[in-house]
């Protein structure tokens, strides 16, 4: 006997229903992704602030021990950051360093890393790195036909306002560090709450380049302009370089208009030849490990180095500005739109400027 039961229709989705579901999922992802990215960036920004707070504690612990903040370095000496290792839970790494032995040997174009520090240069110290920066945490460079590796850094000591001749940190500046500095708390006469001690910078991308004059890489500039042409380091004995062309004017160069300098140079440094922003936390050369207030955060004018010294503003991949550590241990966000004169005043430790609310 034939069954009178009818077959039930299949429960599968139709093609149209499946396409509608996929479209809804795609819309939800598009809506959620920016929120997820914002949450991740907020976490990275908080981590960056915490790193600067740890560095602030290390600076004050160092000052309590030695009655001065760590000295700034020169081309062949240690950075101030390297001297903070025992206060950053890096005592084992610090034991590998004999600070009486220079990290670089030789002079001029023949200067090269000291082989005694072969295990120190490549070390990556997490508290020295901002998680928002996509740049390399290691650099590799060929120096005198030998390949070396270097651990990177984002957090730069302030060598001052950059105004007048304060960019020339071979001499005493109005900042916390300069060559062989010995700044004490009492020397911060503008007040520790009004003085930037450190700020973050963007790490170099690891490569050098030559671009047509006046052409710049994309902001926030992972390459630094080489402005050595037309700039003579043999300026006045009291400090400052002499301008001889390529946009540089004055003897000494003082409060320069940097637009003509950008237009007059073609070389860009990202770390390929052994120097660059954040290239190494060990070496004290200022292009690697210092900043100043001459350029406002994420300035449209790129960082410019000349013979090691230069004009280096705070930079970051955070939206709208960059974090800075003040002498009282607080970390504040410096806006891209901050007044330039105010920004320079905040980087001066003894200028006597009246700093209003900002």
pLDDT tier at 31, thresholds 50, 70, 90: confident
Domain of 119? Answer: 37-347
Q: Which tens digit of pLDDT belongs to each residue from 100-146?
A: 999 999 887 788 999 999 999 999 999 999 999 999 999 999 888 89
Dihedral sign, CA of 311, 316, 322, 328?
A: negative
Number of domains in the chain: 1
Is residue 356 domain-resident? Answer: no
- What is the three-class DSSP state of 210? strand
Number of H helices, E strands in the chain: 5, 16
Q: Which tens digit of pLDDT belongs to each residue from 63-86?
A: 999 999 999 999 899 999 999 999
pLDDT tier at 36, thresholds 50, 70, 90: low
Q: Which tens digit of pLDDT belongs to each residue from 173-204?
A: 999 999 999 999 999 999 999 999 999 999 99
What DSSP state is assigned to residue 87? G
Q: Phi then psi for 288, rounded to 5 degrees?
A: -80, -40
Is residue 358 domain-resident? Answer: no
Q: Which long-range contacts (CB under 8 A, 24 or more apart) does 94-99 make?
A: 96/120
How far CA 200 is from CA of 49, 154, 184, 275, in Å, comes to: 10, 5, 22, 17
Of 157, 163, 202, which Cα lies nearest the Cα of 344?
163
- What is the three-class DSSP state of 126? helix
Length of the chain: 358
Tokens of residue 13, six digits: 């989705």
Is residue 103 domain-resident? Answer: yes
Is residue 6 domain-resident? Answer: no
Is residue 198 domain-resident? Answer: yes
- The residue assigned the tokens 């000591």 is 157
Mean pLDDT score of the chain, rounded to an integer? 92
- What is the three-class DSSP state of 239? coil
């Amino acid at each position: 006997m034939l069954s009178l039961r009818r077959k039930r229709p299949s429960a599968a989705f139709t093609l149209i229903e499946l396409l509608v579901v996929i479209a809804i999922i795609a819309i939800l992802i598009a809506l959620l992704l920016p929120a997820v990215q914002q949450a991740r960036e907020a976490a990275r920004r908080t981590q960056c602030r915490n790193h600067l707070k740890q560095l602030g504690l290390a600076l004050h612990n160092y000052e309590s021990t030695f009655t001065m903040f760590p000295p700034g370095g020169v081309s062949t000496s240690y950075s101030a950051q390297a001297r903070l290792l025992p206060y950053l839970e890096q005592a084992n790494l610090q034991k590998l360093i004999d600070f009486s032995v220079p990290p670089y040997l030789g002079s001029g174009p023949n200067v090269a890393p000291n082989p005694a520090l072969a295990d120190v240069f490549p070390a990556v110290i997490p508290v020295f790195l901002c998680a928002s920066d996509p740049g390399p945490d290691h650099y590799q460079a060929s120096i005198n036909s030998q390949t070396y590796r270097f651990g990177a850094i984002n957090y730069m000591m302030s060598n001052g306002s950059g105004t007048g001749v304060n960019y020339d940190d071979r001499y005493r500046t109005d900042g916390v560090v300069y060559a062989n500095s010995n700044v004490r708390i009492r020397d911060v006469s503008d007040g520790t709450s009004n003085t930037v001690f450190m700020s973050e910078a963007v790490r170099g991308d690891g490569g050098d380049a030559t671009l047509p004059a006046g052409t710049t890489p994309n902001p926030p500039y992972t390459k630094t302009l080489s402005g050595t042409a037309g700039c003579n380091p043999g300026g006045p004995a009291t400090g400052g370089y002499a301008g001889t062309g390529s946009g540089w004017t004055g003897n000494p160069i003082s409060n320069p208009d940097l637009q003509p300098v950008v237009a007059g140079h073609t070389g860009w440094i990202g770390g390929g030849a052994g120097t660059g922003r954040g290239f190494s936390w060990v070496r004290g050369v200022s292009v690697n490990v210092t900043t100043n207030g001459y350029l406002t955060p994420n300035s449209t004018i790129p960082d410019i180095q000349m013979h090691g010294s230069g004009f280096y503003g705070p930079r970051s991949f955070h939206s709208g500005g960059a974090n800075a550590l003040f002498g009282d241990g607080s970390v504040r966000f410096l806006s891209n739109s901050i007044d330039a004169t105010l920004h320079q005043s905040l980087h001066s430790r003894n200028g006597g400027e009246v700093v209003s609310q900002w």
